[in-house]
Amino acid sequence: MAPELQKETLLSTLGIEVLEASKDRVVARMAVGPKVHQPFGLLHGGASLALAETVVSIGAWHNVDQEKEFAVGLEINANHIRAVRSGTVTATATPIHVGRRTQVWEARIVDDAGKVVCVSRCTLGTVPR
């Protein structure tokens, strides 16, 4: 994703760094520290969801006609599996279904040891620009 599209967005606020992006796979990472903690010093579930929605949205965007369409989130869910206090988390998104008007993606977020932190599924719609 072009850096200018990330300027002054939630990605820059949370420090989300996109490492890889294609029609079939998107990978991004985020440092875990006070700015993404909940009050008890753990990674906030909302920050995990923001990371998950970021990677699935980028993947969906790669699968639409970018001059004529947008991909927008319709529904997201998540299972928070493991707590994280520090280090980084890495999200990998892969498509489950890419249709003409809807897409369904899964995002798996892991910690530095590769242990699953969160699993999320997101449905996106394709709308005209």
- Residues designated as active site: 53
Alpha carbon of 104 to those of 26, 33, 70, 82: distances in Å? 14, 30, 15, 24
SS3 45: helix
| 3-state class (DSSP) for residue 11 | helix
Under 8 Å CB-to-CB from 42, ≥6 apart: which residues? Answer: 83, 84, 85
Q: Does residue 129 sit in helix, strand or coil? A: coil
Is the C-alpha dihedral spanning 108, 28, 37, 121 positive or negative?
negative
DSSP one-letter string for 108-120: EEE-TTS-EEEEE
